[in-house]
C-alpha cells in the first residue's frame, strides 16, 4: 500500500483518495500534520440520513493499512448503528495513529480539528477508544462539528454512560428472548474488557443481581472493578472466559472477538457486548446460530453512546437521551422476532432493517425543496 502520509508531508491539506476495497464509502480523507505528529484517517460511509457522525479512535496501529481497514469497518457500522437508533445521521468514523498515552498533544488534536472543519459539516466527531471528552473540548476550539464535549462546556460528557446502559438493555432483551425473563438476577455474565464501557456494564449487572466474571489485559482496570465489586470473579484471558460456565458473553474490548476458535469453545447461550465489529469475518453469525447461540448485533446494543452524543446537537438533556436509549430493549427484541420469522441470523435481520430505513428515508431527501 502507498505510504499516503509520507507523500503528504509537504502538503498538509486533506486528500480524498479512491480506495480499492472501500466498500461503497462516499469519502476517505487522509490527514497529516508532521510537526504535531498527526496521522489520521476520516471515513464517511454514507450521508443518506444526514451528516456522518462517529467517534475518533486513537490507537497504535501496526500499519497504515490496519488503520484504514479499521476505519472503513467502523464507519460502515456507524451508518447502520445510527439508522437503527432512529437518528437522522449518516455513518462516519476517524482514527488517529499513535499511542494516546505518549503521542497525544494539544497541537495534534487542534490540527485534527482543522481537518474536521475542512469537511464543512459532512462529518461530526466524538469520543472513542483513546479519546475523551476533554479531547473533544480541544478539537472544538477549531471546529463546531464536535459532540461528546465535557459537561462544563455544555456537552454530553462521557458517552460510555449510555453505551453501557444500552448494552444492558440489549442484554435484558436477549434474556427475555432466550430464557423468557429479562432480569439478569441469577445469570452468570462474562465481561471481556472492563474499560470505559465494560466497568459501567458491570455496575448495571451487579445491581441487577447477576454473577459477573471479567478479564482484561489491563490489570489496573480489573483492580478498579474489584474494588467496587469484591464479588466479581477474574479469569486470565478471553480463552478462559469463553470456556467458563456462563450464560452471557459480553465482548467489551476491541473488535474481532468472535473468531472461529472463540465460537467453537463458547459455552454461553447469548453474546451481547459493547465492542464494535465483534464478528471476525463474514459467516461467524451463522456459526453462532448453528450452535444455538443468540447474537445481539453489536451496533444495535451499543448505540446508547451515539444516542447520547447526538442529543448534544440540539442541546444536551440526559433524561431525554436516556429515554431514547431505553428503546434499545424494544429494538433488540424486534430484531430477534424478525430474525425468527425470516429464518435468518439476528445480524442479517438487523442489517435489513437498517438498510430499509436508509433507503426509504434517504429517498425522501431527494425531494426538491427549492433554493
Using alpha carbons, list the distances in angstroms from residue 111 to 69, 143, 273.
Answer: 23, 10, 33
Tens place of pLDDT per residue across the chain (371 aa): 456 665 443 343 444 433 434 458 999 999 999 999 999 999 999 999 999 999 999 999 999 999 999 999 889 989 999 999 999 999 999 999 999 999 999 999 999 999 999 999 999 999 988 999 999 999 999 999 999 999 999 999 888 999 999 999 999 999 999 999 999 999 999 999 999 899 999 999 999 999 999 999 999 999 999 999 999 999 999 999 999 999 999 999 988 899 999 999 999 999 999 998 899 999 999 999 999 999 999 999 999 999 999 999 989 999 999 999 999 999 999 999 999 999 999 999 999 999 999 999 989 987 888 86
Quick check: is 93 catalytic? yes
* Residues composing the chain: 371
Q: Residue-wise over 66-79: b if at least 16 C-beta within 10 A, else e?
A: ebbebbbbbbbbbb
CA distance 75 to 8: 23
**Cβ–Cβ under 8 Å, residues 57 and 70:** yes
Write the secondary structure of 138-182 as one string of H (helix), E (strand) and C (coil): HHCCCCCCECCCCHHHCCCCCCHHHHHHHHHHHHHHHHHHHHCCC
Q: Find the catalytic residue in 10, 81, 93, 104.
A: 93
- Rounded Cα gap, residues 258 and 251, in angstroms: 9
Q: Count CB-CB contacts under 10 A for residue 170.
A: 29
Amino acid at each position: 500500500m502507498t505510504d499516503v502520509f509520507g507523500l503528504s508531508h509537504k502538503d498538509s491539506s486533506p486528500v480524498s483518495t479512491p480506495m480499492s476495497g472501500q466498500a461503497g464509502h462516499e469519502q476517505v480523507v487522509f490527514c497529516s500534520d508532521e510537526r504535531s505528529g498527526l496521522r489520521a484517517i476520516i471515513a464517511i460511509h454514507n450521508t443518506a440520513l444526514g451528516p456522518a457522525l462517529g467517534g475518533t479512535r486513537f490507537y497504535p496501529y501496526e500499519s497504515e493499512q490496519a488503520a484504514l481497514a479499521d476505519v472503513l469497518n467502523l464507519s460502515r457500522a456507524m451508518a447502520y448503528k445510527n439508522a437503527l437508533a432512529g437518528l437522522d445521521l449518516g455513518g462516519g468514523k476517524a482514527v488517529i495513529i499513535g499511542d494516546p498515552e505518549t503521542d497525544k498533544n494539544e497541537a495534534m488534536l487542534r490540527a485534527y480539528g482543522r481537518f474536521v472543519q475542512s469537511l464543512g459539516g459532512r462529518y461530526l466527531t466524538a469520543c472513542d477508544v483513546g479519546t475523551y471528552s476533554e479531547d473533544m473540548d480541544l478539537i472544538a476550539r477549531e471546529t463546531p462539528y464536535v459532540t461528546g464535549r465535557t459537561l462544563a462546556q455544555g456537552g454530553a460528557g462521557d458517552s460510555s454512560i449510555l453505551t453501557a446502559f444500552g448494552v444492558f438493555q440489549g442484554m435484558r432483551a436477549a434474556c427475555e428472548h432466550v430464557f423468557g425473563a429479562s432480569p439478569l438476577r441469577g445469570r452468570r455474565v462474562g465481561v471481556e474488557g472492563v474499560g470505559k464501557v465494560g466497568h459501567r456494564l458491570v455496575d448495571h449487572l451487579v445491581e441487577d443481581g447477576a454473577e459477573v466474571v471479567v478479564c482484561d489485559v489491563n490489570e489496573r482496570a480489573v483492580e478498579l472493578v474489584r474494588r467496587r465489586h469484591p464479588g466479581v470473579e477474574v479469569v486470565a484471558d478471553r480463552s478462559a472466559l469463553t470456556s467458563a460456565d456462563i450464560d452471557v458473553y459480553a465482548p467489551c474490548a476491541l473488535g474481532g472477538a468472535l473468531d472461529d476458535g472463540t465460537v467453537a469453545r463458547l459455552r454461553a447461550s447469548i453474546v451481547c457486548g459493547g465492542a464494535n465489529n465483534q464478528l471476525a469475518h463474514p459467516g461467524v453469525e451463522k456459526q453462532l446460530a448453528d450452535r444455538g447461540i443468540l447474537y445481539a448485533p453489536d451496533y444495535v446494543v451499543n448505540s446508547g453512546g451515539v444516542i447520547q452524543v447526538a442529543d448534544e446537537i440540539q442541546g444536551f438533556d440526559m433524561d431525554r437521551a436516556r429515554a431514547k436509549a431505553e428503546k434499545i430493549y424494544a429494538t433488540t427484541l424486534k430484531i430477534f422476532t424478525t430474525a425468527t420469522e425470516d429464518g435468518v441470523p439476528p445480524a442479517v435481520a438487523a442489517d435489513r432493517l437498517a438498510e430499509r430505513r436508509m433507503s426509504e428515508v434517504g429517498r425522501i431527501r431527494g425531494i426538491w425543496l427549492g433554493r
